[in-house]
Amino acid sequence: MQRKKLLISVGIAAVALLGVSLGSRHYFQTHFNRHVTINGINVGGLTAAQAYEKVSQTKLTNRVYLNGKLVFDGHDQQPVFAKDAKQTVARQLQKQATWFPSRQPHAYTLPLQMDQAALRADMKATLHHQLGQLNGNKRLPVDAKAVWHANRVTVTPAKHGTAYDEAKVMAALLRHQNEPTIKLTAKVQQPLEADSPTVKKAVAALKKLNNGQVTYQVAGHPVKVKASQVIDKATYQAGKYHFTPVKEAAVIKQLNAKYATLGKKFKFTTHAGNTITTTADGDYGWKIMASRAATTIGQAIVTGRTQVDAKADIYGQGYDTRGLGYGVTKNDGLGDTYAEVSIADQHAWFYRDGKLVASADVVTGKHSSGDDTPKGVWYVMYQQMHTTLRGTGDDGKPYASPVTYWTPFTLSGCGFHDASWRKNWSKTAYLTDGSNGCVNMHPADAGVAFKALSNKEPVIVY
């Protein structure tokens, strides 16, 4: 009998508990929990309809407080929401619904359907001005920083400041812009600490430079170059390396000494088959620009490339400063298309693809007056027909000489041209009756030579 009564009591209690549970579930499925806000307005304990009513009837004061101080006071407005705003609130209710009371906070937003662009721009401008005044005499923090130098990574510690974090305040303004009254708190801006994941990641990335190297192709010659040879200092931020190249990298000087041709003497095989050494004068050739090369190689290393060519890093001098003859291996870097001028023989030879295509007697610069055609390796700057050469003669008087064919090869004004006015074509004419530095040619030969020449080909004078 007692057992039966006990079972009945338990059953009644279970039914009651179930009823309470179902009632609780129904309530919290149809009412917001206590710590829920929409546009900063507490809607705890309200149904979706009641919550919408409360939010829609709460005027926008358009006031902004910063650390408790009113910094912006706009006109009051009645909020206007989209047509489906009620459905949005209903969905928000379902998102936070629980079986039992919950203290979990939820902050929902119901977007305004009204033009607030000008108002919000004024808010931002005013807030920016206020923060500027507050930070006027305050000290900015300095982030901890990892720096790579000479295969070693050092981390400078962070320095704390006193300035407010404007970026976070502005972000908070954006988050709370739909609230009737906006209350913001400005906090001191915190620096990036040395033990932060960001700095640790930078340290790990920078240590990889210790083994960084790339193959630098110099006119067909592969050269291994290490990061420490071309990178002075490096940092790592936002997933990218930033570095300062070595200004005058010793490795580039070594490569220039070994492979570059600008300002060097050439081993040249003459028309007669003799090998001579030219003077180091002349504008023909190329050289590696140290500062540009260090940047090129450094960039290749930090981006993970395995090789890079020096072609983009070379320079020259004279009319074309991009450098000439890079990659040319024949004839000690002169190639097989060139013009050859012998002062002693007073003769010129013109070669194309290794074959002699023209040859002629010439008269070079006047030796007795010091107007010798300059020896060395030069190059054809450009070609021009029917022009007038102007300058000053040995007597100090200006001259103007019309020519049909003009091919200059020095910036000082020396070049090949026809000389119809010349009477003395002897092999010794250049000694006392030579030109002002140009290579004079018979009118009958000048046209053939003009056609045999081409822009940028070397002109060897010896």
User: Which residues are annotated as catalytic?
Assistant: 417, 438
Do residues 335 and 325 lie in contact, with contact meaning Cβ atoms separated by under 8 Å? yes
Do residues 300 and 231 lie in contact, with contact meaning Cβ atoms separated by under 8 Å? no
Dihedral of CA 327/329/332/333: which sign? Answer: negative
Q: Which two tokens stand for residue 175?
A: 């988050």
Question: What is the biggest distance separating any 2 CA atoms in the chain, rounded to whole angstroms?
Answer: 152
Burial 340-377 (b: 16+ CB within 10 A, else e): bbbbebbbbbbbbeeeeebbbbbbbbbbeeebbbbbbb
Phi-psi domain of 79 (left: phi exceeds 0; alpha: psi -120 through 50; beta: other):
beta
SS (H, E, C) 93-150: HHHHCCCCCCCCCEEECCCECCCCHHHHHHHHHHHHHHHHHHCCCCCCCECCEEEEEC
In angstroms, the Cα distances linking 14 to 19, 25, 141 are 8, 16, 63
Q: Which one-letter amino acid corresponds to residue 271?
A: H
Q: How far is residue 350's CA from residue 348's CA, in Å, rounded to a whole number?
A: 7
Residue 201's Cα: distance from chain center in Å?
Answer: 22
Do residues 249 and 256 lie in contact, with contact meaning Cβ atoms separated by under 8 Å? no
